Chain A
Amino acid sequence: MRLLRQTRLLLVAELRQELRSLEVVISSAFFAVVMLALFALSLGALSPSAQLSAIPGALWLSVAFVGALTLTRVFDRERESDTLRALLIAPVDRLAIYLAKAALALLVVLISTLVLVPGLCVIFPAAAPIVERPLLSAAMVVLGCVGYVAVGTLFAAGLAQGGGKNVLLSLILHPLTTPVLMFNLVATRALLERHPGTGEYLGRMAALDVLLLAVAAWLFEPVLVGGAPRRAPGDDARIAAARARARGGRP
């Protein structure tokens, strides 16, 4: 209960901050529109059978790019004012920080899919089964986004806290989120082909989401705070300073 209360409080704070400017929501939704325009220009003239192969790729590649942008922006705020450190010092469960950040990122990505999915249905007539089975489609999109955000939040937080470069996020995120994207591709293809086993694919997506959420939640604290240090704190900085002095410059 305490964890849920802390998560809710942190999420409300995040949402209040986002509602002041709507910066992350608007930039992600606009990026989704740009992706749609690019897909319309490059793949709009495909035959209906080719569209069946193109739609899952177009949907989940867009989600991957929008997700990377969202996660970068969500943690940029923390990076700019170094507030993630303050959050980690605060008497809050670290898991609550992870869950609140992941929930915010999930919400923003889902808002972007509200632009993406109808847009793809307009561009590609073969996407009609998505409209015909709205509940199944919505479940598929939500499950697909949960897995992506579960992995992404961990690594975006790690990069924001360590002063890492933003470019590294895409480099880490895309190879690691491939299993989620593969599962999503298989389920979307099944949905478009009106496969009777689509529900089973959604079950597999849910199982993968649970696995990824559990591993990411377990790793969040060790990645951000670390275990018992063998080197004293600040040793890495001392080594860097010693190297700079040895080269004759100022550290």
Chain B
Amino acid sequence: MKRALPYVLLVAAAAIYPYAVARVFLDTPIERQMGTAFKIFFFHVPMGWLCMLMALICGVAAAVELRRRSQTAAAVALAAAELGFVCGLGVLLTGPIWGNATWGKPWTGDARQVSTALLWLVIAAYLVVRHYGPSSNRRLAAALAIFGAIDVPVIYQAVKWWKTQHPTTEVVGSLPPALWASLWPALGAIALTVFGLLGIRIRQLLLADALDEGWARQSDLAAAKEVRHE
């Protein structure tokens, strides 16, 4: 059951997607000020939330990995970072499209834009260190993930002092019920996809670790036999 859960989540997501898309494009009224471009909101906001959640999971798993050198925590941190990277990319691509339609320019250097872009950069740096650094740099990558999780609210506050014109968090809170009814299916479908992929990727990374260890053990045995023959 545990092994099948990610696939169950993906199947559920596949079932919800058509309903979510139909709701957003056919049943949701067009927003008066922003026009049709507002429909991006229903995909942009869930991806933004999931990107931050993945960064948080990555930071917490990295802290556990660093304290206990747990391979499971290492796999969770890496898988969460990869999915955070993808969600962040989605946010950074859909945001400027929405911004261009609403503010007249895709990038305004606003607090939330800059903090999201920097969070994405930290996740990208973490992935580069994990994939291209030597194996001993795993601990360094974990520290990077922890710092990244701490950095995000600080960057956000710093840019807010500088300038901001992004919709405040109250905008999401004050959404009319009709828009919430469209946001929930979109959020559900994207979240189920992300968690399904997270489960599959964690299992894949743990299997790769187990395979590496088995490979090393077998190779050691073969080398010992060679020495005995000589």
Chain A residues with a Cβ under 8 A of chain B = 151, 154-155, 158-159, 161-165, 168, 171-172, 175-176, 178-179, 182-183, 185-186, 208, 211, 215, 219, 222-224, 226-231, 235-236, 238-243, 245-246
Q: B-side interface residues toward A, CB under 8 Å?
A: 66-71, 118, 121-122, 124-125, 128-129, 132-137, 139-140, 142-144, 146-148, 150-151, 154-155, 158-159, 161-162, 212-213, 215-216, 218-220, 222-223
Cβ of A84 to closest chain B Cβ, rounded Å: 12
Chain A residues with Cβ under 8 A from B71's Cβ? 230-231
Is the beta-carbon distance between B139 and A158 smaller than 8 angstroms?
yes
Known: A236-B135, A239-B212, A242-B216. A171 touches B147 (CB 8 A): no
Query: A246 and B144 in contact (CB under 8 A), knowing A175-B122, A230-B70?
Result: no
Contacts of B144 in A (CB 8 A): 155, 172, 176
4 closest A-B pairs (Cβ-Cβ)? Answer: A242-B219, A182-B158, A162-B136, A158-B140
B125 touches A211 (CB 8 A): no
Residue of A nearest to B72 (CB): A230
Decide if A176 touches B151 in the complex (CB within 8 Å): yes
What are the residues of chain B within 8 A of A161 when measuring CB–CB? 136
In the complex the two chains form, what is the Cα distance from A238 to B218 in whole Å?
11
Q: With A175-B121, A178-B118 as given contacts, are A228 and B150 in contact (CB-CB < 8 Å)?
A: no
User: Is A158 touching B137 in the complex (CB atoms < 8 A)?
Assistant: yes
Cα–Cα distance between A246 and B222 once the two chains are bound (Å): 11
Hey, which chain B residues are within 8 Å of A224, CB to CB?
Answer: 139
CB distance from B206 to the nearest CB of A (A): 12
- Assess the A182–B216 pair: CB atoms within 8 A: no
Q: Give the CA-CA distance A229 to B71 in the complex, in Å.
A: 10
**B158 x A158 contact (CB < 8 A):** no
| B68: contacting residue among A159, A223, A228, CB under 8 A | A228
6 contacts between A and B (CB under 8 A): A155-B140, A219-B143, A223-B66, A226-B139, A235-B216, A239-B212
A170, chain B: closest CB distance, angstroms? 10
* CA gap between A164 and B219 in the complex, in Å: 27
Determine if B220 and A242 form an interchain contact, defined as CB atoms under 8 angstroms apart: yes
A242 to B136, alpha carbons, bound, how many Å?
17
A243 contacts which of B136, B142, B148, B215 (Cβ < 8 Å)? B215
A163–B143 CB distance below 8 A: no
Given contacts A164-B133, A223-B143, A231-B71, contact A215 B66 (CB under 8 A): no
Given A223-B139, A227-B68, A228-B68, are A186 and B162 neighbors across the interface (CB < 8 Å)? yes
**Chain B hits for A243, CB < 8 A:** 215
- The reply to whether B140 and A159 form a contact with Cβ atoms under 8 Å apart is yes
Among B66, B133, B146, B155, point to the contact of A178 (Cβ < 8 A). B155
Chain A residues near B136: list those with CB within 8 A: 161-164, 236
Nearest chain A CB to B167 CB, angstrom units: 21
Residues of A within 8 A of B150 (CB): 211, 215
Expressed in whole angstroms, the Cα–Cα distance for A245 and B220 within the complex equals 10
B219:A245 contact, CB within 8 angstroms: yes
Residues in chain B near residue A245, CB distance under 8 A: 219, 222-223
> Which of B69, B129, B137 contacts A229 (CB under 8 A)?
B69
Cβ contacts under 8 Å, B128 to chain A: 168, 171
Contact flag A179-B151 (CB < 8 Å), given A223-B66, A230-B71, A245-B219: yes
Q: Which residues of B contact A211 (CB under 8 A)?
A: 150, 154
Docked-complex contact A215 and B133, CB < 8 angstroms: no
Taking a contact as CB atoms under 8 Å apart, the answer to whether A222 and B139 are in contact is yes
Are A172 and B146 in contact (CB-based, < 8 A)?
Answer: no
- What is the CA–CA distance of A219 and B67 in the complex, to the nearest angstrom? 10
Contact B143 A155, beta carbon cutoff 8 Å: yes
Q: Which of A176, A186, A226 contacts B69 (CB 8 A)?
A: A226
Contacts of B161 in A (CB 8 A): 186
